[in-house]
Amino acid sequence: MKRLISCYSSDFNNMTRADFKQSILASEGRTIMAETVVTATPLLEGITNAEVMASFGADLIVLNEYDVFEKSIVGFPSSENPIEQIKKLCGRPIGINLEPVDEEAEILDIKVPLSKGRKASREAFIEAENQGIDFIMLTGNPSTGVTNIAIKQAIQVARENFSGLLFAGKMHGAGVSEKIVNIEELIAFVKLGADGVLIPSVGTVPGLSEVEAHEAVVAIKQMDGLVIHTIGTSQESADEATIREFGISNKRVGGDIHHIGDAGYGRMPLPENIMQLGITVRGKRHTYFRMASSVRR
């Protein structure tokens, strides 16, 4: 099995869930995941944000606010299966967020309502499977009311209806007052069937230390789970020095995937920040390889 950072586009075509997970592990903490909001006008006219992110070095692409029933991506031609088309254009594994909303949760802010196709449900997981989505993030956007209890319930449903990689956890509070990095809860996610968990990058949420984050990583690694370090607090639009600091901190903490969120211009990370994160955690050799590799390879 090739490590993901050495894969060409064609290598992703026939990867099983186990192959995909192993290729990430084999990359030893050098995988970059970039996220974009598909309901916003793209950064550049005539090209999707997914293609821009891929060209600046992202290994994995996340489409946030993608409704699996509506199948709409702003700035992209209507298609019966836009996921299939985006894969061909980017040559990268494509994932989406589905949100396990807890309708009983007390929201700290004004609650943001979600369409049926953005919520974690059996029907949504089946549709994601049918569209060939490679991985799902069970997480929450701001003020949506996603809780750890709802995430655990969603994992069980997802594992019965979706064959791709499954990641679970929170990048921030999602409008709910509960501990974000709760080791017992993260362990429970993996026990229930998640392939990996989300842990905020140190410096993105108040009070999280490298020691605490490392303890969580060690616990998940002991269960053969993957760890995604997330930048989901709009700091993806900060300066490159800040992004560099996140990347080096993530390496010290010990996770597998470096996520960079969607809050820059055009509702994607600043392109130079994607490249900076890549150079920080894997050097120019692997970053330029990913940027220059043709989707026809």
| 274 assigned to some structural domain | yes
* pLDDT for the residue numbered 276: 98
* pLDDT for the residue numbered 243: 97
132 Cβ neighbours under 8 A, 6+ residues apart: 81, 83, 84, 87
Alpha-carbon distance 139 to 57, whole Å? 24
pLDDT tens column, 241-261: 999 999 999 999 999 999 999
| 8 assigned to some structural domain | no
Our count of domains for the chain comes to: 1
| 147 assigned to some structural domain | yes
Higher pLDDT, 146 or 3: 3
Contact 229, 200 (CB under 8 A): yes
Average pLDDT of span 114-128: 95
Written as six digits, the tokens of 107 are 């929201």
| 7 assigned to some structural domain | no
What band does 271 get if pLDDT is binned at 50, 70 and 90?
very high
| 12 assigned to some structural domain | no
What band does 287 get if pLDDT is binned at 50, 70 and 90?
very high
Gap between the terminal Cα atoms of the chain? 17
Closest of 173, 224, 174, 158 to residue 197, by C-alpha = 224
Average pLDDT of span 258-281: 96
| 93 assigned to some structural domain | yes
pLDDT tens column, 175-193: 565 688 899 999 999 999 9
Contact 255, 229 (CB under 8 A): yes
| 193 assigned to some structural domain | yes
CATH of the domain at 42: 3.20.20.70
Strand partners, 260: 34
DSSP class of residue 141 equals: -
The number of angstroms, rounded, from the C-alpha of 270 to the middle of its chain's C-alpha atoms is 16
Written as six digits, the tokens of 97 are 């967020």
pLDDT tens column, 32-57: 999 999 999 999 999 999 999 999 99
| 20 assigned to some structural domain | no
Contact 49, 74 (CB under 8 A): no
Domain that holds residue 45: 28-292
* pLDDT for the residue numbered 102: 82
pLDDT tens column, 72-88: 999 898 888 999 999 99
